[in-house]
Amino acid sequence: MTFIQMRLYFPPARTIAAIQILLLSLTFPAYAGDITRFAGDYTGSAEIVSSDGVRSQRDMSVAISETRDGFTVQWASTTYKPDGRTKEKSYSIGFVPSDRDGIYSAAMERNVFGHAVQLDPMKGEPFVWGRIVGDTLTVYSLFVDDEGGYEMQQYDRTLATGGLMLDFKFSRNGAQQRSVSTFLKRQ
């Protein structure tokens, strides 16, 4: 179809609208999965209330960085128990793009060919994935226990002025066990 035939087929307003829709469809998927906006180091603290009502203070940090193939999320927490004890945990997970836009596979292990692969939840290992929707980077972790039950963790990290808003949920067999919502300041 020549330009003149196209002009006759598409009136100018429709042509402009079609071009705008085409350009938007080409740029939106790249924006939806853009980890660059999240990259940085963040810290904060929150009071945690468990399902039995016990309250504890927790310091948290997260570092999000771009890699050649995707991105890495490293996070740590220190929990201060009412009896004075402390409990520290830290994690680091690499993510690579999946075949689905804005959804990332965890690259937690290398196969015999050196490719990063998911862990196997049927072997008691966590199945982890991430997604970016708008201003929120979410990391999910699914663990299948020995009896066939499951634990699910969800970390929503939403861009906010000066940092990230963290919303964490932990459930066991569908029953919420713990949740945390706090602001993490960009360092």
Distance in angstroms (rounded) separating the CA atoms of residues 128 and 41 = 21
- pLDDT tens for 38-64 read 999 999 999 887 777 777 889 999 999
SS3 letters for the chain? CCHHHHHHHCCHHHHHHHHHHHHHHHHHHHHHCCHHHCCEEEEEEEEEEECCCCEEEEEEEEEEEECCCCEEEEEEEEEECCCCCEEEEEEEEEEEECCCCCEEEECCEECCCCCEECCCHHHCCCEEEEEEECCEEEEEEEEECCCCCEEEEEEEEEEECCEEEEEEEEEECCEEEEEEEEEEEEC
- pLDDT tens for 59-98 read 999 999 999 989 999 999 998 887 889 999 999 999 999 9
Domain limits, CATH 2.40.128.20, in the chain: 33-186
- Which of the residue ranges 40-49, 56-65, 111-120, 121-130 would you say has the lowest mean pLDDT? 111-120
pLDDT of residue 116: 57
Assigned architecture for domain 33-186: Beta Barrel (2.40)
| Beta bridge partner(s), residue 122 | none
